[in-house]
Structure 1
Amino acid sequence: MREYLLKGIEALGLKFEEAIVNNLVAYADLLLETNKHTNLTAIRDEDSLIEKHFIDSMLLQKLIDKNTETAIDIGTGAGFPGMVLAICNPKIKFTLMDSVGKKTDFLEMVKNELMLENVEVVNDRAEEYIKNEKRETYDLGLCRGVSKLNVILEYMIPFLKVDALFLAQKMEGTGEENESGNALEILNSQIEEIYNFQLPFSNDPRTIIKIRKKKATSGKYPRRTGIPLKRPL
């Protein structure tokens, strides 16, 4: 598993200290072991886990601004991309949020086992957590494959500072950006670039949408729990 991970890292043109690689391997081991009795991911074989979760998450690494101090991953699941990027970027403080308790319990275990001081795990919904003085406090937003873009924008953008970035990951180009013009306008944000990548071994397509927050967000967003999904902007 370690060699496969290192080959993937090299294929992306990245390089990490041995301590970081050790933590990534330990994280993967914990996930594989926990997944035997707690369903955290449908991917169970080592190579697919490394490529489709770990290497996939690292596609974002070169897009992270060097001045980033805080990041939030909404709907992080078993920690992708947030936990991977937290391990790779120990100087950035990451909030990993999910509403499913078994997933945040697992992430707490990973945090404690690896002694990750830059990770905060939150078991909550975005609409509720933002009330805890979290509005416009993050430099970077992350979300992989959760809901359509016009929905996740309403959850994410209110958390971000003005001029902060949201890097939205999709399995492949879906054209969701074409349905998001109204949400982007209301939330004072704009798409700066759309990146199309391929995973290094399977060649599976991946899309990352780079979004910039231009002005402050109205305090009425996000709307109350469930409304963004039922009535997208």
Structure 2
Amino acid sequence: MISKPYLLLLIKYLEYLVEYNSHTNLTAIRDMKDALEKHFLDSLLLQNLLDKKQCKKAIDIGTGAGFPGMVLAIFNPDIEFVLMDSVGKKTIFLQNVKELLNLENVTVINSRAEDYITSENRETFDVGLCRGVNKLNVILEYMIPFIKINGHFLAQKMVGTEEEDEATNALNTLGAKIITIHRYNLPHYGDERLVVEILKDKLTDIKYPRRAGVALKKPL
């Protein structure tokens, strides 16, 4: 059962998203009921997995309007979340949400992953999050350098893309491996969702990620 304080924050976030999206395009889903299911509940599919990771610090790359990172930050006040997106109008919205909900465990970053990674934040995150941003062999290069050894990447993907097969070289190159593919169904619409659980088990070469745009043009 969802505790009342978290539920109230979630409702406030949902209402603000629908209102903000009416004048600033953040997401193609504009109906409140659809947004609740396909954004908010979809994000919460990761909660049980996050509970098992003893996570203290998580990063969500390409978070958009805050999915899944902002939703999970509401439910996990003891975890530090970095929410990153390269689109300024989205990070402005996220900063507004952070202030509206008084979320002290959220840091909003307007940047590309290739530009944000430094010696101070390389291999410092327990968990990486990403929902549907690029193919898996591309997003791995952005994400894995941020994750510490024995940390996890929980990649949310659509069913039927079969991107895991294309990601073998990227996984081997970056020092990671797929350990489980979780399958879920959204409660009302029944849409199937995949969460590819990836373990980082080796150090990542300092040359990754490559400069901006290279991973997309020439995936590992």
**TM-score band, normalised by the shorter chain?**
over 0.9
Name the residue aligned to 1:189: 176
The SS at the match of 2:197 is strand
Whether 2:65 is the aligned partner of 1:98: answer no
Rounded to whole Å, the distance in 2 between the matches of 1:113 and 1:60 is 24
Q: What is the number of equivalent residue pairs in this alignment?
A: 219
Shift of 1:132: 6.1
Match of 1:59 among 33, 40, 45: 45
Name the residue aligned to 2:111: 124
Rounded to whole Å, the distance in 1 between the matches of 2:86 and 2:25 is 15
State TM-score, norm by structure 2.
Answer: 0.98
Whether 2:26 is the aligned partner of 1:26: answer no
Shift of 1:196: 1.3
**Displaced runs of 4+ in structure 1, greater than 3 A?**
none
Rounded to whole Å, the distance in 2 between the matches of 1:125 and 1:188 is 22
Match of 1:205 among 189, 192, 203: 192
State TM-score, norm by structure 1.
Answer: 0.92
What CA RMSD, in Å, does the superposition of the two structures yield over aligned residues?
A: 0.8
Name the residue aligned to 1:41: 27
Whether 2:148 is the aligned partner of 1:148: answer no
Unpaired stretches in structure 1, ≥5 consecutive residues: 1-14
Unpaired stretches in structure 2, ≥5 consecutive residues: none
CA displacement, residues 155-190 of structure 1 (integer Å, 9 cap, x when unaligned) = 000000000000000122311000011000001100
Rounded to whole Å, the distance in 2 between the matches of 1:41 and 1:132 is 33
The SS at the match of 1:55 is helix
What percent identity do the matched residue pairs reach?
59
Q: Is the 8 A contact 1:188 1:215 kept in 2?
A: yes
Match of 2:125 among 117, 135, 138: 138
